Amino acid sequence: MGVAVMKLRNPPVNSLSLECLTEFTISLEKLENDKSIRGVILTSECPGIFSAGLDLLEMYGRNPAHYAEYWKNVQELWLRLYTSNMILVSAINGASPAGGCLLALCCDYRVMADNPKYTIGLNESLLGIVAPFWFKDMYVNTIGHREAERALQLGTLFSPAEALKVGVVDEVVPEDQVHSKARSVMTKWLAIPDHSRQLTKNMMRKATADNLIKQREADIQNFTSFISKDSIQKSLHMYLEKLKQKKG
Ligand SMILES: CCC/C=C/C(=O)SCCNC(=O)CCNC(=O)[C@H](O)C(C)(C)COP(=O)([O-])OP(=O)([O-])OC[C@H]1O[C@@H](n2cnc3c(N)ncnc32)[C@H](O)[C@@H]1OP(=O)([O-])[O-]
C-alpha cells in the first residue's frame, strides 16, 4: 500500500548519534523521492526504547566545530521530518525522552504503547539544558501554549495515560497492538487525496519550519556557544554520571 516502516536501530538506547542522524536523513530523503511511497511508520527495534534522544556524547567533551556539525544535522533531520510530504505515523514502543519525543512530534499521528514504564516528553531542563525555540514551537503547536510552558519548565516526562490527556500522543493502545494500530491509522490517512493533505499540512507547518530556516546559522552558533559553556558541560557530566549510577 505504499507504506514503509522505518525501524530505529542504534543500540543500546537508539540515541541519535551523528552517524545515526545522517543515516536517518538519507533514508528519509530516499523515501521522499520514491513516488511509490506515500506513508512511513516510524518505530524502534530497541526493546523498550523508542529513542533516548540526542546523543549526549555528541554534546559533551567535544570541540565547537563538532557541536556545530552535529547541530546542523539535527536541524536537517527535523526540517525533513517536520515538513515531509509523506504521512508519518509513529508507533512509540518505548521510552521517548527529549529528541525521541521530537521525532514523534514531527509525525502526523502518534500511537503509544500502554506501558507505564515508557515515558515521553521534552525533559531538557532536567539535564540543565534548554530545548531550542523550534522544539518549543512544535510542542506549542501540538499541546498548546500553557501545557508546553509548564511541561518545558518542569522537563515533564509523561506516562502514556498523561501524554494522551495532554495531547502529546493521539492514542494509547496495548503494547502488542501498537503496530497494527499504526497501520490502521495509516490506512485512514491514505484515503485522503495526497495533494490536498499535503497542501494542508504545509499550511499548518510552514511558518514553524520557516522560523528555523531563516535563522539556521544563528541557531547553530547559539547552540555551539551554549553547549560549550563550562557550566553546561558540568551539568551534562553530572547527568551522564547519574545515568551510570542508575545502571550500577
Ligand atoms: C539543546 C539540546 C537539546 C537536547 C535534546 C536531547 O535529546 S538531550 C538527550 C536527553 N535524553 C535523555 O534524557 C534520556 C537519557 N536516558 C535515559 O533516560 C535512559 O537511558 C533510557 C530510559 C532511555 C533507557 O534506560 P535503560 O535503563 O534501558 O538504559 P541505561 O539508562 O542503562 O543506558 C544505557 C547506556 O546508554 C547511555 N545513554 C542513555 N541515554 C543516552 C543518550 N541520550 N545519549 C548517549 N548515551 C545515552 C547510558 O549512559 C548508558 O551508557 P553506559 O553506562 O552503558 O556507557
Name the band, by pLDDT with cuts 50, 70 and 90, for residue 247.
low
Per-residue pLDDT tens digits for 15-46: 999 999 999 999 999 999 999 999 999 999 99
Q: What is the mean pLDDT of the chain?
A: 97
Among candidates 127, 90, 97, 130, which has minimal Cα distance to 112? 90
Name the band, by pLDDT with cuts 50, 70 and 90, for residue 248.
low
Contact 54, 100 (CB under 8 A): no
Looking at residue 246, what is its pLDDT? 82
Domains of the chain by range and CATH?
A: 2-191 (3.90.226.10)
Looking at residue 77, what is its pLDDT? 98
Long-range contacts of 45-48 (CB under 8 A, 24+ apart): 45/7, 45/8, 45/9, 46/8, 46/9, 46/10, 46/11, 46/12, 46/13, 46/14, 46/94, 47/94, 48/93, 48/94, 48/95, 48/117, 48/118
Look-up of cell digits 536523513: 25
Rounded to two decimals, the ipTM of the complex is 0.98
Give the pTM. 0.98
54 is catalytic: yes
Ligand 1 pocket at CB < 6 A: 12-13, 15, 49, 52-57, 95, 97-99, 123-124, 127, 129, 131-132, 240, 243-244, 246-247
Per-residue pLDDT tens digits for 118-152: 999 999 999 999 999 999 999 999 999 999 999 99
How many whole angstroms from 30 Cα to the centroid of ligand 1? 29
